[in-house]
Amino acid sequence: MRFTKFGKALLIGALSLGVVFGVTSCVESYTVGYLYVTGTVTASTGNDGIISGFRIDHNTGKLVPINGLPVSSEGANPVRAVLVTSSRFLYVLNRGVNAEGNGDCTTADPCTGANIAQFVVGGKGILTYQETFFTEGINPFRLIADSTGSYLLALDHDAPSSAACQAALGASVTSCGDITVFQINQTTGRLSVVQNAAVTAANCPSAQLPCPLTYFPVPANPVDFVLTGGYLLTLSGSANSGSFPYTGGTSVWPYAYGSSNGQLTVSSNSSQTLGIGQGNAIITASGVIYVLDNEQIVIPAGCNCVWNEGSSPLTYYGQILPYTLGGGGVLQAETTGIIPDSLPLTNPIQVLVESKGKYLYVANQGNNVTGNNQDSGIAAYFITTAPAYQLSFAPGQPFGSGAGPQCILEDPSDQFIYEANEYDSSITGRIFDPNSGNLDGMRVTSTYALQGPPTWCLMDGRTG
């Protein structure tokens, strides 16, 4: 077939239009992931908490509420949530309430109604409640899953038996916390308690011998825990820090973790004192373990430090302790040692290392509960790994946030960073610049209101 000159022009125009539409379709907006946030409906914590959910727009980072959410967390005071088994199941840890109807639970006034609620993650991010499970100890407050998605571990602030504390940790131990380990059914998501093969329960009837414990004792006054490199590390305090949120971590105790059976075995290396007094988190990211400490650190004048910000002595109101994991679960300090938090921020609580491993961000909750976020924000550090690991302040930091961020995370497309803020019941989103580490405000709305104070957030990259 032969085309006239006019026909050729029409054909070229049609092809050009097709190219334009093709390019347009390449940048078409779509959902790159789901952001879930647990929280309380109001400042009153006597009612069930909620789980809110948002679709993340690939082009802008805009958050759009998921249809059908929020839903009840199926318990009061949800404080942690995890996704497992290729994001098919979501588990929420609800702390419950004390006798006065609030979440300030102590050994003398423990939480009741605490549970772990299981949800199925359906199409378009919808959550459907399935079943409720219970830990073996008292006052649960932390929840993690192992890397295989086979086991779920809950940290209870108080063990139900002091005799078990002595049997597991030594005759001089009179109180302890505990970890309840659950095996996850890969088909249904149901949880079953893993028995402690190393410790026998006290007062076990002879007809029932052997009678293993249904939990794993840990040192008293636990603050946080983390799984890394075949070990479970518990951050504990030297004294009871009072009601939740627990702080005052001073030492770390290692357990060998059996990924094939969920067993925790006391390491031959006992508790390791860190030389701090207000540790409130232990986190692992990109092969480094970070302990966050909410206490003052004074940098002397003339310090030849990569973070030195002036010639006069400077007082920082938080610090980051980076470690690698040594034999037997022993923490080995990185060569740069303790790193100060950014001024004027206080109370570091969460760490994020972005996907390329070049920048580290620390969410600082601050200590002001009135909604004034002058000491809330995000500290940012540039990570150098050669010739040795080193952190230095990134240009332009600290970056703003809402008041009292509880968590910080990166979206699955590595473009946006979000945090959920307790004191002003909001989510804040920022664009991540991979070249400078800068966090810019989004070109669309970057702050999203929640129905009540958030407690935790997590990201789901499965959108099918």
Lowest pLDDT segment from 14-23, 148-157, 330-339: 14-23
Is residue 288 within 8 Å of 383, Cβ to Cβ?
Answer: no
Lowest pLDDT segment from 91-95, 131-135, 315-319: 315-319
CA–CA distance, 441 with 403 (Å, rounded to integer): 16
Residue 425 DSSP symbol = T
54, 46, 30, 45: which is closest to 457 by C-alpha?
Answer: 54
The DSSP H or E segment spanning 18 is: helix 5-26
Residue 54 predicted with pLDDT over 50: yes
Residue 10 is predicted with a pLDDT of 42
The predicted model gives 108-115 an average pLDDT of 88
The predicted model gives 12-18 an average pLDDT of 44
Residues 168-209 have pLDDT tens digits of 888 888 999 999 999 999 999 999 999 999 887 766 655 556
Residue 22 predicted with pLDDT over 50: no
Q: For a pLDDT cut of 90, what percent of the chain falls above it?
A: 64
> What residues does each domain of the chain span?
31-460
CA–CA distance, 68 with 248 (Å, rounded to integer): 40
269, 273, 290, 267: which is closest to 238 by C-alpha?
Answer: 273
Beta strand 151-158 with 176-184: parallel, antiparallel or unpaired? antiparallel
- Per the DSSP assignment, residues forming a β-bridge with 422 are none
Residue 54 DSSP symbol = E
What's the CATH code, domain 31-460? 2.130.10.10
Residue 306 is predicted with a pLDDT of 58
3 state SS for 180-195: EEEEECCCCCCEEECC
CA–CA distance, 422 with 89 (Å, rounded to integer): 25
User: At CA 39, angle to CA 38 and CA 44, rounded to 5?
Assistant: 160
CA–CA distance, 355 with 81 (Å, rounded to integer): 21
The predicted model gives 237-260 an average pLDDT of 91
Token digits of residue 151: 């086991």
53, 24, 170, 200: which is closest to 121 by C-alpha?
Answer: 53
The predicted model gives 433-449 an average pLDDT of 86
Radius of gyration of the chain (CA): 24
The predicted model gives 256-277 an average pLDDT of 91
Residue 349 predicted with pLDDT over 70: yes
